[in-house]
């Protein structure tokens, strides 16, 4: 029988964060299991395995093919428990349990789900319910969720995000192998102290560095300003460097929403209208996806300077896929009161500023120091 969380009556319990508790017969999790062992040996084996909780949020990995096109599919139609049932041999890696946080395509990921996810992970580790957590997630916003969790999960125990580029039932579906490897990494003693990671397509990436680089390829996640943390296959896990935790853990605000922070995309012939509108609409900060090393037109820079004078934090990032945005190169950041994102892309810079504002860190010098402290 697979090693999964069971009740005293021998039933698998699937805890749902959506307010529904589902108990299924243990036989419902049947898969190609090893030959039966004596009860005492089986219990000892289960107790010795690392405990991994799988928190499911939806995404392509939980999707099913749709006949509207050759590659059409619908995200978030399969539960976390069903995903585990579809991966032969995964029960040999860890003592597994599954909880459903949400079931959405990651384009619909939002603050409320983020807060539920973060609070549940902190609770799991604070209560010593598991040795590691795996989060199944869509790839579109996975890097943002990973970076958010990197900054709010207090424990350095492994949190591994995993997804897929092809839904279940499609030709070459990558979800089962990715999920197997994510659990494999999470359960490994080598993963201790590495905090939040992303595992897809045989690679292990750090939450700070990873980004999605291709719309459809299974080799979509890369770390342009760094390198993978390591590599994984069904027989091996190879980390390239010792574990190292960076950054600061921030408190989640009360309620279910982070402060409003807008991303403005720089382009040729740009005026200041988008920036002025963001200020009028109550943005606490503006992140510029700038040209080149985070630059923008004179009209846009003037509008950003006006925003700073009104108490809005301005962070210069870049729309370029790799490289650092440094202070005082083409733009006089000291005079204008701007912050630079260094290596953080606009979407991750936005997450960090949201957390900083929520924690009362709003001075340009403090914000700049927080960006520097994350690597």
Closest CA to 103 of 65, 61, 57: 57
On the 0-12 / 13-18 / 19+ scale of CB atoms within 10 A, 147 is buried
Helix (H, G, I), strand (E, B) or coil at 315: strand
DSSP assignment, residue 180? H
On the 0-12 / 13-18 / 19+ scale of CB atoms within 10 A, 142 is buried
Copy the structure tokens of residue 150: 């990197």
- Residue 235, number of CB atoms within 10 A of its CB: 6
In sequence order, the 6+-apart residues with CB closer than 8 A to the CB of 171 are none
Helix (H) or strand (E) holding 136: strand 132-136
Q: What phi-psi label fits residue 292: left (phi over 0), alpha (psi between -120 and 50 degrees) or beta?
A: left
Catalytic (active-site) positions: 60
Contact between 312 and 285 under an 8 Å Cβ cutoff? The reply is: yes
DSSP letters of 11-60? EEEEEETTS-EEEEEGGGG--SPPPP--HHHHHHHHHHSPEEEEEEEESG
């Amino acid at each position: 029988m697979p090693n999964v969380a069971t009740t005293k009556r021998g039933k698998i319990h699937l805890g749902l964060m959506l307010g529904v508790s589902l108990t299924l017969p243990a036989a419902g999790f049947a898969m190609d299991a090893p030959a039966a062992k004596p009860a005492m040996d089986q219990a000892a084996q289960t107790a010795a395995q690392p405990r991994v909780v799988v928190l499911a949020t939806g995404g392509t990995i939980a999707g099913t093919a749709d006949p509207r096109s050759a590659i059409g599919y619908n995200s978030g139609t399969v539960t976390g428990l069903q995903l585990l049932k579809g991966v032969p041999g995964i029960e040999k890696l860890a003592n597994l349990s599954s909880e459903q946080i949400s079931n959405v395509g990651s384009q619909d990921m939002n603050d409320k789900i983020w807060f539920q996810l973060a609070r549940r992970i902190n609770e799991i580790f604070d209560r010593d319910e598991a040795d590691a957590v795996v989060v199944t997630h869509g790839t579109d916003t996975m890097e943002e969720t990973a970076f958010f969790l990197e900054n709010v999960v207090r424990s350095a125990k492994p949190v591994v995000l995993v997804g897929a580029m092809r839904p279940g039932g499609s030709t070459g579906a990558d979800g089962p192998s990715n999920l197997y490897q994510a659990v494999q990494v999470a359960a490994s003693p080598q993963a201790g102290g590495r905090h939040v990671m992303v595992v897809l397509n045989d690679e292990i990436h750090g939450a700070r560095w990873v980004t999605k680089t291709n719309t459809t390829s299974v080799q979509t996640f890369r770390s342009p300003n760094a390198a993978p943390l390591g590599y994984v296959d069904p027989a091996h896990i190879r980390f390239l460097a010792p574990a190292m935790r960076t950054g600061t853990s921030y408190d989640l605000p009360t309620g279910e929403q982070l402060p409003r922070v807008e991303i403005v995309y720089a382009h040729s012939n740009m005026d200041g209208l988008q920036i002025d509108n963001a200020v009028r609409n109550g943005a606490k900060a503006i992140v510029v996806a700038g040209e080149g090393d985070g630059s923008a037109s004179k009209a846009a820079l003037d509008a950003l300077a006006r925003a700073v004078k009104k108490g809005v934090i301005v962070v210069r990032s870049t729309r370029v896929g790799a490289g650092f945005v440094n202070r005082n190169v083409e733009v006089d950041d000291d005079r204008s009161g701007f912050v630079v994102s260094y290596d953080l892309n606009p979407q991750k810079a936005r997450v960090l500023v949201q957390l900083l504002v929520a924690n009362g860190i709003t001075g340009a010098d403090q914000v700049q120091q927080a960006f520097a402290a994350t690597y």
